[in-house]
Every structure is written in C-alpha cells, then in structure tokens.
C-alpha cells in the first residue's frame, strides 16, 4: 500500500456549527497505543520490532475495555476511562521480533577522515497534545491540530478504505502543538467503536538529538545523517505497513558551497523522528554552515566573502547576504575581547507548500562571552526572503519569536533549584538582544506586516556557534550551546591563575556551620517582633512557585484538620510522646502567622523556633525544611502570606512531663539537627540532584520513611536513610535496598505509583501516603520523574534479568495453586469477605481493578500494620484511575477473624516469608487507635 | 480534608441525572434514595453478598462499595433498566418462569450477574454459570431454581 500524494483540492467547508465542536468529555471513550520500544524506518517503511505473539486476553477482561485493535505492528486499546485503557495496555503481553541489523553497527558518527566533523542538533521538545475521532458509518470526523490537513485526510482514507470526502479534519484549538500522530491513532481506534468518539492523548516528547557528520574535499561534500530528512507519515500508518513516497523539504545550499552534497545515513534504518520531522532540515543547515565556517577559518577566508564568491547564479541569495552584511557592519566590526560575530545562510525549498516555495535567509549574530562561559546574544541581524507571500506576520511578533528561539539555543548551567518548566533561571540573565530584520526588496517598512516563513530561523544555530568561535576561539558543535562546556574549554586555554575564591568559600562555610551550632544550642530564643506584612510586593511567579513548594512539602496535609478549613490547623498527630496538634498557618495576625516577618518564618522553617521564641516539636519537620533553598523559602512565604486569613484557634498541644518542657528541645537540636541548605552532588546529574533536593528538603520523605531513635530523631548513617519507619500507626516501607517488595521497584514503577497512586506490580497508595500522592499530582511531571529517578538510585534492584511481568505471573500462579493454605481457618473468611474482588482463582470480572495480593508490598513486609490498617479502615481510592474503594471491616470482623485472615493471606500470598508474630496485640492496638 | 457536596452527572438506564451529593457517597444510596430505583438491595454493605449488583458499562459492579466519584461518565444499568413488570427482560422472564424466588432479596444480584455473564458470553456452560454466581449469596436455598432460570436465559435467543 502507498499513501497517495495529497491533492490540492480545498477542504470541504463545514457549515453546521454544531458539528464543529468536539463531543463533550462525558461521552468520550479513551484510546491508548502500545508502541514498540524502538521506532525505526528506512525512509520508506517501518523497520522496527514487529509483534510475533500478542496475548491480549488479560486486557480484554479489564472492565470498561471496548476494543483491542491489532493491525500489523499497531496495537491499541479503547476503554471508557483513560485509567482503564492504561491498565488494559499494561495487561497486553507482546513478544517483539528483534529488528534485523543487516550491517555491523558502525560507530555512530565516527569520523571517516581527519577533516570530518560531527554536529549534534537538539530538536524542540514537543508539548502534550490530543486528538478525537468519531466514526458514524458515513463520515469520520477528526479533531486535531495539524499544518498538513490534506496529507492527514489522504493518509486516513488510505488506511481505512474511506474516500477523502468522508473524512473531516476539524481544529481542536491546540495551537501550535501538532497532533498528527494522535489523529491517526484516534482514527484507527474509533472505527472499532462506531458512533462513539475516541480521544487519544499524545504525551509530551522530550528533545532528541540529530547527529550529522560532514566531510569534504575540493570536489564534494558528504553528509552522514542519523535520521532521514523526509517528512514522514504518521507513526500509526508506518506501523500498519504503509510505504512512504512524499518528497522531503529539501535544503538547497548546494550552490552555496560550489560542490554537490551527497547524503548518506549512519544506519540503513534510523529512528522515526517526532513530528514535525522537518527539524532534520534545521540540523542540516547547522552542520553545513558550521562546517563551512570552520573551513573558511582554516583557509583564512572571510565567510561572507567566500559565500558571495560561490553564489554566482542566485541573485536573491546574493542580494540578501549583501544587505544583511552591510546592516550588521560586517566589514567594520570592532574586535573587542570577548565579543564576536558569526554568519550563516540557508536556502530551503519547502515541498509541503503547493506549489513548493523557496525560502532564503541570512543571519549575522553578535555575542559576548564572559570568563565563566556565559554567552550573551547582543545583536541579531536577520535577512529573509520568501516566494510565499500569504502568511504575513507583524514585525514585533517575529522579533520576539526570534529572540526566544535564539536564546533557546543557549544552555545555562543546570541547577537543582528549578521547578518543572519554570523558565526562571536566577543566576543567568540574558539581556534582550537587539534584532534587526532586513526586509525583502519592495518591503521597506519596519513595524508593519511582512511575509514570513518559520524555516528562515534555521541558520540561527550556526550563526551563534560561528559567533562564539569568533569571540573565544572555541568551536561548539552541539546545540544547545552549553555554558559549562564552554567554560571548561576556556579554562583549558592558558590564562592567569585564578583567584583562590574556592578556599575562601570553604572556610566561610565552616565558620557559618559552627555559628549555626552555637545559636541553636541556646535553650531560650528571643522573640521576633510582630510586623505588618505587605504582600503586594510578591510577584505572581513567586506566589505560584511557593504554591508548588507548599504542595511538595504537604503543608496542608498536616495543617488541615479533618473537615477543617485548609491550613487552619488542628489536625492531631500521634507521636510516641503524645498527641501534637498542628497550628494555624493562614496569615491571620492573631491566630495564624499573619504578623510573622520573613525572618521569623525562616527561623521556624530552618531551626524550629516559633516567632515568640518557643521551640517547636520536630513532628514539624524543620529538620528537612532546613534544606530548602532561599528562593524556594521566600516563594513559600510569599504564597502562604497571600492566602486567605482565617481566624481559628486549634486545640493546644499538651504533652506530659518531660516532653512538655520545650527548652529541652535545644539539646535535641544540638544532637540531631543540622541547619544546612541542600548541597548538590556535583558528580551526579541535575535530575538526580533535583530528586534528592525534593526528597530530602520540602518533600521530607525521611520524616516517615527513616527509622527514629528513642528520642524521636531520625537515625543517622547511610544504612538508616529511608530504611523504613512508622507514622500514624502505618508502616512507611523502606525505600532503600531493604525494600521487601516481591518485585523490585524501578524508576518506572515508582513514577507510576507517585503520579497515579497505583502501581500494578505493587499496589495502591493508602493511609498517610494517599494525601501525599494527591499533592504530587499537582507537581510538574518532571519533578515527579526526578523523585522517582533519585529514589530508584537508592534501590539498585535485583540484577536478575527476568522481566517483571513474568515474575508477576509466577507469583500469581503460586498463590492460585497453593493447596496447603486451603485448610486454614482463614480460607472461608477470605472466600466470603475478600475473594469476590481479590481472588485471581475464579469469580466474575467486576468493575474496577482486581488488585493482586500476590504482588502487594504490604503482604510481603516484615510488619503486618498496613494490612491490618487497610482491613480495619478500607481504602478511599486516592488514585485517578477510578479503581474502586475498599470498605473497612472493623465493625464486621472480630479480632480472631482478623487474625485468621492475616495468617491465611500471609501464607497464601507471601509463602516464602515467615509468619507474622504478635498479631493479637497489633490488631488490638490498631482497633483502639483513636487518631487516624 | 474537608468534605463537600458537589454536582455529578450520572447516566442511569440511558437517562442523565444531575446528582448533588458528597463524592464519597456509595452509588447504591444514590440509586435507591435519590433516584428511587429500588431494584438494587442493601445487603451487607461490604461488597460481599451481591444483592446490590448493578451493571457499569455492561460489567457487574457492587454498588454499595463504589463511591459516586468513580462512576461518573459511565453507563449504569439497574434491574429497572432490563425491563418492566409489563415487559420483563429476557433474564427477568426466565426467573419468573422458573419461580426462582423465595424471599427474593438476592434476586436482583442474581439477575444482574447473569446479565453481565450473557453480555460477555452469550452461550455459557453450566460450569461458567456456577463460577459466575459463586459470590452471590442466597440464604433461602432456591439455588436449584436460580440455576434453572439462568440456563433458560442462556438458551432463549434474543
């Protein structure tokens, strides 16, 4: 099958207004697709792994599943709810064929000769998007966002054997994220659910690297690419076996070099790029123009003059370069240390337009680089000419988009102290560069609308790289341009010996720590005078950032009573020393923290001292909060102070002697509290440090998950860190290598659990962990990923290579056929109370999940506490998956029955573990526990 | 966390309803108290006996342990949705024909569970029917009649 070339016939115009809106959310079905782990193609066909065997029976039995669609290598699930579709997807077991690697793997990008140079271009990240498709026998409607509606229409019509007239492509209002792939996925799925609309969400796609190796001599240039430069059909169409024939957007700099350019590929099969695949064109221009500049510098030629000498036939190109060079004063540029200018040129034929359009662009970038390697773009002169005059844009808009694009090519030093997509980079400021747009001939006015094509941005990267080289003599061949890499390269060049700032900084650090110790050992601390706080000074960004810090810190979990108003305090926290009530942290001046200055707030957060000088009990985890960075602490203050003030006095904490003697806490602090901000580990990645910062600081995970000593302090030592503890009568299981989970937690399963509250290989979040998951759901995805990444590094897991799904199946099988337990007294209780939902042996499929007890972490733990808690009180489903709640059996099972059940479940589902001891007391204690 | 009532849109027996209730309220209470659909019964309240069974997206569900928030956006069918006393549904007719009730309290669950089985598998075996009804409790002991009704329903073509 081939995809026919799109015709230029205009789209049929929809007149019925009602049909234009996508169906309401309540009526939608949800589709998810199961992709092979490697998406490869050879420029025409899909060549990645293909399914040899698909076992989808497990998925068919998941409630809410409407259809399972398998077509060649395309596998998808349609279900009533997104969570059900995801759950079903995880139940499909596919054995993939390994793709045929017909050539020995050449070293990627290994230069063939000495003159060869490799360049890496980082594509843009792609935001998450979605598409909806609805088939009603006669027409197929697709709501999506694409720049290629005609290609999409033809692709779908060829895939589904419909005429193009039967397909309507409607906008989904998501500008500018492409959802071409999701649109075809949705179309393929919706024909299996006639009359119901199917929504497919396409996850955000991180940036990927395109590698290009350029080599050449006098007669020819060779370009070796890591990805095909063709605009591809949808991933779904390729997976269904389609052959691609459309032409690529051609990069036409050939005449600019005076020699033909030959394209080769690192491998006959290359990864299928994210959409839009045209970014390969941008990568090609970056590689060619950098290489050209390198060649010119080696031969001591002026790159602009050399280019003009080559372009004998192309008058448009010549004129453009000449006017840009004169506007940027290329020939009389000053040669100041640390500044430089770079030139790059692009000539592109855009085959996606009908008829194809030519675009010329010439860039001169001016940069200054400081000693630390920080690059500042000071001026951009951008010349641009296009045959396409239809899409006109206002100059200021183009200027700001160019500024953003150019600055996006710079990579400031990474920091652990950035929230999600927070663009705020505190120690890195780029001044707004001046932008000159050189208009086309017969377009002479600035600040009016001019013809513009986005592909005119492509030479930007090479122009900046060439300018950085001009300024520093350092050649950067990878985008984005990394200031750390530049700094290292600059440091290797001979320079005068650096000032011994490092030693000084270290000494200062030691002094500060010593002073901190002395101060916190004082048994009585002075009050900080109440102040009237002016909250108008806080920016929207600071307040929003503070909100994220508060969520990560779970402030509202402890500071909100059952049925109380948020942050007004009064929640009872059971500690081994008595019940502590949380306080009102709304900005009410009398009963809350309204009259606390930032100084007082920070002292409380880092040292555990009330504004009035009283010591706070460490059930308030200031031991962790001390690690919070200054920017985050200030943002948190800004957030809390701008929330509604509520007058409310929660119950007073009254512990018995000696714990009521708060000054004694000073001694405790000397022994157990170190007031120090988080220090990133320079040997680890930013992601790891970010995770560590969140876990150790605001997230205060150790407060529950690290064992405590007799004085209620977290035990020190590496072995004890996150080694499991108790909180509120629940066990907080070990997160390090002491984990008792039958299947080792991985980064992926930790992410699932923290993001959704459920991991199909481990169980569901309940007890005090439930509100934590609720909070995490509001954090940026990247932060949850960082936490999962860091935590998984603490628990290297088993080195066995057995796939988790296979281990899971074995454990289930054992629990099903364990005949030894069938004579235990718990068997009939289990049959009556639990089996309808939890027995994998038999019984009807019920709506909701059937949580596997054989894989449950709690049943494999050394402590029965969490199982008893769940049996007594049930689980109010904290997940977003709608898996159903579990009722509590406190009032229907007596202690003996509970014990029989516990012994039975332990023997049946965790047969390799020793029986639990002391169940009678445990059951009695948890039953009588008043605080929950 | 404080609890608040909210408005949930619920689709029951093909009709859409706006329900104002706490999102944690069990579905059974909404069906019986708000919508006056008394087919589903309150038995144990713990999901054990099956008297409260309804269909959600065609699959059996124990409505006494399902909170309102987890069923929004799904198609809910109760006993009333299978047929009326004037024109009973296929499974209901079979239970009438076989006189399968003594006290009748469990029958809602029996009928709905058989309906769910037939949705999945139009021609179940005797063993499959037994398996399906395993966790629906009947204390009167009309099991013989219930099985006969289930067999009849499975054999009668729609």
Query: Cβ atoms within 10 A of the Cβ of A104, count?
Result: 5
Closest-CA distance, A750 to chain B, in angstroms, reads 24
CA distances from B95 to A695, A815, B114 (A): 59, 37, 11
The answer, for A883 touching chain B at a CB cutoff of 8 Å, is yes
Cβ contacts (< 8 Å) between A892 and chain B: which residues? 44, 46
Answer yes or no: CATH 3.30.365.10 is held by domain A17-34+50-97+127-204.
yes
The answer, for A298 touching chain B at a CB cutoff of 8 Å, is no
Q: For chains A and B, count residue pairs whose Cβ atoms are closer than 8 Å.
A: 92
Q: How far apart are CA B92 and CA A708, in angstroms?
A: 61
The answer, for B88 touching chain A at a CB cutoff of 8 Å, is no
Out of A63, A566, A887, whose CB is closest to B59? A63
- With H, G, I as helix, E, B as strand and everything else as coil, classify residue A744: coil
**According to the model, what pLDDT value does residue A306 have?**
87
Report the candidate in A256, A348, A251 with the shortest Cα–Cα distance to residue A304. A256
Closest-CA distance, B72 to chain A, in angstroms, reads 8
CB contact under 8 A, B62 and A563: no
CB contact under 8 A, B66 and A876: no
- The DSSP 8-state label assigned to residue A859 in this structure reads G
Report the candidate in A13, A284, A277 with the shortest Cα–Cα distance to residue A148. A277
CB contact under 8 A, A848 and B70: yes
Closest-CA distance, A84 to chain B, in angstroms, reads 12
CA distances from A124 to A739, A870, B49 (A): 39, 46, 56
Token couple for B36: 């006056």
The answer, for A876 touching chain B at a CB cutoff of 8 Å, is yes
CB contact under 8 A, B62 and A846: yes
**According to the model, what pLDDT value does residue A838 have?**
80
- Can you spell out the DSSP letters for A617-648? PTTS-HHHHTTS-HHHHHHHHHHHHTSPP---
- Judge whether A229 and A280 are in contact, CB under 8 Å: yes
Token couple for A912: 């390799």
Query: Cβ atoms within 10 A of the Cβ of B5, count?
Result: 11
Would strands A129-135 and A140-144 be described as parallel, antiparallel, or unpaired?
antiparallel
Token couple for A666: 């000073």
The answer, for B74 touching chain A at a CB cutoff of 8 Å, is yes
Out of A771, A835, A882, whose CB is closest to B70? A882
- With H, G, I as helix, E, B as strand and everything else as coil, classify residue A609: strand
CA A467: distance to chain centroid? Answer: 33
Q: How far apart are CA A313 and CA A824, in angstroms?
A: 92
Token couple for A406: 């150019």
Cβ contacts (< 8 Å) between B11 and chain A: which residues? 26
The answer, for B106 touching chain A at a CB cutoff of 8 Å, is no
CB contact under 8 A, B57 and A847: yes
Closest-CA distance, A176 to chain B, in angstroms, reads 30
Q: How far apart are CA A319 and CA A313, in angstroms?
A: 11
Query: Cβ atoms within 10 A of the Cβ of A24, count?
Result: 9
Between positions 551 and 570 of A, the ones with CB within 8 A of B are 560, 562-566
Q: What are phi and psi of A334, to 5 degrees?
A: -75, 145
Kindly report the pTM of this predicted structure.
0.60
Cβ contacts (< 8 Å) between B66 and chain A: which residues? 847-848, 884-885
Q: How far apart are CA A347 and CA A324, in angstroms?
A: 15
Cβ contacts (< 8 Å) between A887 and chain B: which residues? 45-47, 64-65
Query: Cβ atoms within 10 A of the Cβ of A378, count?
Result: 17
Closest residue, chain B, to A890 (C-alpha): B46
Tell me the domain boundaries of chain B: 5-80, 82-155
- Give the model confidence (pLDDT) of B106-137 as tens digits: 999 999 999 999 988 888 999 889 988 988 99
CB contact under 8 A, A63 and B47: no
Q: What top-level class would CATH report for the domain B5-80?
A: alpha beta
- Judge whether A239 and A81 are in contact, CB under 8 Å: no
Between positions 888 and 907 of A, the ones with CB within 8 A of B are 889, 892
Partners of B11 in the β-ladder = B16, B75
The answer, for A887 touching chain B at a CB cutoff of 8 Å, is yes
Written in H, E and C, the secondary structure of A323-385 is HHHHHCCHHHCCCCCCEEEEEEEEEEEECCCCCCEEEEEEEEEEEEECCCCCEEEEEEEEEEE
- Give the model confidence (pLDDT) of A904-932 as tens digits: 999 988 888 899 999 999 999 888 876 44
Partners of A436 in the β-ladder = A381
CB contact under 8 A, A833 and B48: yes
Between positions 7 and 36 of A, the ones with CB within 8 A of B are 25-26
Token couple for A458: 């492509």
- With H, G, I as helix, E, B as strand and everything else as coil, classify residue B131: helix
B13 dihedral zone (left: phi>0; alpha: psi -120 to 50; beta):
left
Interface residue of A773, A844, A890 to substitute, partner B, most B CBs within 10 Å: A844
- Fold assignment, A804-928: Cytochrome Bc1 Complex; Chain D, domain 2 (1.10.760)
C-alpha angle with apex B54: B48 to B56, nearest 5 degrees? 115
Answer yes or no: CATH 2.60.120.10 is held by domain A335-498.
no
Written in H, E and C, the secondary structure of A426-444 is CCCCCCCCEEEEECCCCCC
Partners of A708 in the β-ladder = A714
Q: How far apart are CA A10 and CA A792, in angstroms?
A: 53
- With H, G, I as helix, E, B as strand and everything else as coil, classify residue A62: coil
Looking up tokens 């919706």 gives: A190
Closest-CA distance, A851 to chain B, in angstroms, reads 15
CB contact under 8 A, A884 and B66: yes
Out of B1, B45, B50, whose CB is closest to A560? B1
Same topology between domain A17-34+50-97+127-204 and domain A804-928: no
Closest residue, chain A, to B135 (C-alpha): A836
Looking up tokens 């990568």 gives: A283
- With H, G, I as helix, E, B as strand and everything else as coil, classify residue B9: strand
Cβ contacts (< 8 Å) between A193 and chain B: which residues? none
Query: Cβ atoms within 10 A of the Cβ of A97, count?
Result: 13
**According to the model, what pLDDT value does residue A429 have?**
31
Q: How far apart are CA A854 and CA A860, in angstroms?
A: 9
Please give the CATH number for the structural domain made up of A686-794: 1.10.760
Q: How far apart are CA A901 and CA A870, in angstroms?
A: 13
Q: How far apart are CA A179 and CA A201, in angstroms?
A: 9
The answer, for A529 touching chain B at a CB cutoff of 8 Å, is no
Partners of A346 in the β-ladder = A361
**Torsion angle defined by CA atoms of residues A831, A837, A841 and A846, in that order, rounded to the nearest 10 degrees:** 130
**According to the model, what pLDDT value does residue A883 have?**
58
CB contact under 8 A, A63 and B56: yes
The answer, for B67 touching chain A at a CB cutoff of 8 Å, is yes
Partners of A573 in the β-ladder = A580
Out of A835, A876, A884, whose CB is closest to B135? A835
Cβ contacts (< 8 Å) between A886 and chain B: which residues? 65
**According to the model, what pLDDT value does residue A640 have?**
93
The answer, for A814 touching chain B at a CB cutoff of 8 Å, is no
A75 dihedral zone (left: phi>0; alpha: psi -120 to 50; beta):
beta
Q: What are phi and psi of A512, to 5 degrees?
A: -65, -40
The answer, for B89 touching chain A at a CB cutoff of 8 Å, is no
Cβ contacts (< 8 Å) between A846 and chain B: which residues? 59-62
Q: What top-level class would CATH report for the domain B82-155?
A: mainly alpha
- Judge whether B111 and B92 are in contact, CB under 8 Å: yes
CB contact under 8 A, B2 and A884: no
The answer, for A884 touching chain B at a CB cutoff of 8 Å, is yes
Query: Cβ atoms within 10 A of the Cβ of A811, count?
Result: 22
ipTM of this predicted structure: 0.78
The answer, for A80 touching chain B at a CB cutoff of 8 Å, is yes
CB contact under 8 A, B117 and A844: yes
Which percentage of chain A shows pLDDT scores above 90? 17
Would strands A250-251 and A140-144 be described as parallel, antiparallel, or unpaired?
unpaired
**According to the model, what pLDDT value does residue A389 have?**
62
Burial of A510 (0-12, 13-18, 19+ CB in 10 A): exposed
**According to the model, what pLDDT value does residue A185 have?**
95
Q: What sign for the dihedral angle of Cα B20, B23, B24, B30?
A: positive
Out of A63, A876, A887, whose CB is closest to B47? A887
Tell me the domain boundaries of chain A: 17-34+50-97+127-204, 335-498, 509-672, 686-794, 804-928
Interface residue of B74, B75, B130 to substitute, partner A, most A CBs within 10 Å: B74
Q: How far apart are CA A732 and CA B91, in angstroms?
A: 49
CA A353: distance to chain centroid? Answer: 34
* Rg, chain B, Cα only: 16
Query: For A492-607, where are the E strands, in sequence order?
Result: 572-575, 578-581
Closest-CA distance, B87 to chain A, in angstroms, reads 28
Q: What are phi and psi of A464, to 5 degrees?
A: -70, -45
Closest-CA distance, B2 to chain A, in angstroms, reads 4
Enclosing H/E stretch for A263: strand A261-265
Q: Extract the residue ranges of chain A whose pLDDT is less than 50.
A: 1-18, 102-112, 421-432, 442-447, 495-520, 799, 931-932
The answer, for A110 touching chain B at a CB cutoff of 8 Å, is no
Report the candidate in A478, A497, A463, A471 with the shortest Cα–Cα distance to residue A373. A471
The answer, for A843 touching chain B at a CB cutoff of 8 Å, is yes
CA A853: distance to chain centroid? Answer: 31
Burial of A540 (0-12, 13-18, 19+ CB in 10 A): exposed
CB contact under 8 A, B47 and A837: yes
CB contact under 8 A, B113 and A883: no
CA distances from A776 to A378, A416, A543, A746 (A): 40, 18, 18, 18
- Give the model confidence (pLDDT) of A200-238 as tens digits: 998 887 778 888 888 877 677 888 888 887 778 889 999
A768 dihedral zone (left: phi>0; alpha: psi -120 to 50; beta):
alpha
> How large is the angle between the packed helices B143-155 and B107-120, nearest 10 degrees?
30
């Amino acid at each position: 099958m081939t995809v026919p070339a799109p015709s230029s016939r205009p789209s049929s115009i929809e007149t019925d207004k009602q049909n234009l809106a996508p169906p309401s959310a309540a009526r939608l079905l949800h589709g998810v697709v199961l992709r092979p782990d490697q998406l490869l193609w050879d420029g025409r066909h899909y060549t990645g792994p293909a399914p040899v065997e698909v076992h989808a029976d497990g998925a068919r039995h998941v409630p809410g599943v409407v259809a399972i669609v398998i077509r060649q290598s395309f596998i998808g699930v349609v279900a009533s709810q997104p969570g059900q579709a995801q759950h079903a997807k995880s139940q499909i077991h596919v054995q993939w064929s390994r793709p045929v690697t017909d050539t020995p793997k050449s070293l990627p990008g290994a230069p063939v000769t000495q003159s060869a140079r490799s360049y890496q271009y980082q594509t843009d990240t792609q935001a998450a998007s979605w598409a909806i498709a609805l088939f009603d026998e006669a027409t197929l409607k697709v709501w999506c966002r694409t720049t290629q509606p005609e290609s999409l229409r033809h692709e779908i019509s060829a895939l589904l054997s419909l005429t193009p007239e039967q397909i309507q492509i409607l906008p989904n209002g998501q500008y500018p994220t492409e959802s071409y792939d999701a649109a075809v996925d949705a179309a393929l799925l919706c024909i299996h659910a006639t009359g119901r609309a199917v929504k497919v969400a396409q996850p955000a796609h991180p940036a990927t690297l395109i590698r290009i190796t350029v080599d050449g001599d006098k007669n020819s240039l060779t370009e070796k690419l890591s990805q095909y430069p063709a605009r591809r059909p949808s991933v779904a169409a390729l997976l269904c076996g389609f052959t691609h024939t459309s032409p690529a957007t051609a990069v036409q700099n050939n005449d600019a070099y005076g020699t033909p350019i030959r394209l080769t590929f690192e491998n006959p099969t290359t990864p299928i790029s994210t959409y839009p695949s045209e970014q390969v064109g941008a990568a090609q221009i970056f590689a060619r123009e950098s290489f050209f500049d390198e060649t010119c510098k080696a031969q001591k030629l002026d790159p602009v003059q050399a280019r003009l000498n080559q372009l004998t036939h192309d008058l448009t190109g010549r004129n453009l370069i000449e006017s840009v060079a004169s506007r940027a004063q290329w020939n009389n540029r000053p040669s100041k240390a640390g500044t430089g200018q770079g030139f790059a040129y692009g000539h592109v034929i855009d085959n996606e337009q009908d008829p194809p359009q030519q675009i010329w662009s010439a860039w001169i970038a001016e940069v200054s680089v400081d000693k630390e390697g920080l690059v500042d773009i000071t001026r951009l002169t951008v010349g641009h000419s296009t045959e396409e005059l239809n899409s006109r844009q206002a100059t200021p808009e183009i200027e700001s988009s160019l500024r953003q694009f150019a600055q996006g090519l710079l990579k400031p030093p990474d920091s652990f102290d950035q929230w999600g997509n927070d663009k705020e980079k505190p120690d890195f400021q780029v001044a707004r560069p001046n932008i000159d747009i050189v208009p086309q001939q017969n377009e002479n006015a600035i600040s009016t609308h001019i013809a513009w094509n986005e592909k005119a941005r492509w030479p930007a990267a090479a122009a900046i790289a060439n300018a950085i080289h001009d300024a520093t003599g350092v050649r950067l061949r990878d985008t984005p341009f990394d200031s750390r890499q530049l700094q290292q390269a600059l440091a290797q060049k001979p320079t005068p010996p650096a000032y011994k700032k490092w030693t000084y900084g270290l000494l200062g650090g030691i002094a500060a720590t010593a002073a901190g110790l002395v101060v916190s050992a004082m048994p009585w601390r002075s009050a900080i005078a109440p102040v009237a706080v002016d909250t108008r000074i806080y920016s929207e960004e600071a307040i929003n950032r503070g909100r994220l810090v508060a969520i990560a810190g779970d402030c509202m979990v402890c500071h909100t009573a059952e049925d109380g108003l948020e942050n007004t305090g009064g929640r009872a926290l059971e500690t081994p020393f008595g019940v502590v009530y949380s306080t009102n942290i709304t900005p009410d001046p009398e009963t809350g923290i309204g009259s606390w200055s930032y100084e007082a707030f920070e002292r409380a957060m880092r040292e555990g001292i009330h504004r009035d000088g009283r010591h706070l009990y460490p059930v308030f985890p200031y031991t962790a909060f001390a690690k919070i960075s200054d920017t985050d602490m200030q943002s948190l203050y800004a957030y809390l102070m701008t929330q509604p003030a509520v007058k409310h006095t929660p119950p007073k904490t009254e512990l018995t002697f000696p714990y009521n003697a708060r000054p004694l806490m000073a001694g405790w602090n000397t022994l157990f509290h170190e007031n120090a901000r988080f220090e990133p580990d320079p040997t680890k990645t930013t992601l790891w440090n970010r995770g560590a910062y969140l876990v150790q600081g605001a997230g205060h995970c150790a407060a529950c998950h690290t064992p405590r000593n007799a004085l209620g302090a977290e035990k020190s030592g590496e072995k004890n860190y996150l080694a499991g503890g108790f909180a509120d009568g629940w066990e907080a299981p070990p997160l390090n290598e002491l984990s008792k989970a039958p299947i080792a937690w991985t980064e992926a399963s930790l992410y699932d659990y923290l993001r959704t509250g459920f991991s199909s290989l481990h169980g569901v979040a309940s007890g005090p962990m439930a509100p934590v998951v609720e909070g995490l759901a509001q954090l940026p995805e990247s932060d949850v990923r960082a936490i999962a990444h860091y935590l998984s590094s603490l628990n290297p897991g088993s080195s066995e290579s057995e796939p988790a799904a296979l281990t899971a199946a074995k454990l289930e099988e054992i629990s099903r056929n364990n005949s030894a337990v069938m004579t235990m007294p718990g068997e009939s209780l289990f049959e009556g109370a639990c089996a309808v939902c939890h027995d994998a042996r038999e019984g009807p499929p019920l709506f909701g999940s059937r949580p596997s007890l054989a894989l449950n972490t709690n049943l494999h733990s050394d402590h029965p506490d969490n199982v008893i808690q769940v049996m007594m009180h049930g689980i109010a489903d904290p997940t977003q998956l709608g898996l159903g709640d579990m009722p509590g059996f406190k009032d229907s099972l007596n202690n003996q029955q509970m014990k029989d059940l516990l012994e039975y479940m332990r023997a049946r589902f965790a047969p390799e573990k020793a029986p639990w001891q002391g169940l009678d007391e445990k059951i009695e204690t948890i039953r009588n526990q008043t605080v929950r | 966390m404080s609890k608040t009532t909210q408005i949930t849109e619920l689709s029951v027996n093909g009709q859409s309803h706006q329900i104002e209730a706490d999102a944690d309220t069990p579905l059974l209470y909404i069906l019986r108290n708000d919508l006056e659909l008394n087919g589903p019964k309150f038995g144990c309240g713990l999901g054990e006996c099956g008297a409260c069974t309804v269909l959600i997206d065609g699959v059996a569900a124990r409505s006494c342990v399902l909170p309102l928030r987890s069923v929004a956006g799904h198609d809910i069918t109760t006993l009333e949705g299978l047929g009326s006393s004037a024109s009973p549904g296929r499974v209901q007719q079979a239970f009438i024909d076989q006189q399968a009730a003594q006290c009748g309290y469990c029958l809602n669950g029996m009928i709905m569970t058989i309906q769910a089985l037939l949705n999945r598998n139009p021609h179940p075996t005797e063993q499959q029917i037994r398996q399906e009804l395993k966790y629906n409790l009947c204390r009167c002991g009309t099991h013989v009649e219930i099985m006969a009704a289930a067999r009849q329903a499975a054999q009668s073509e729609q």
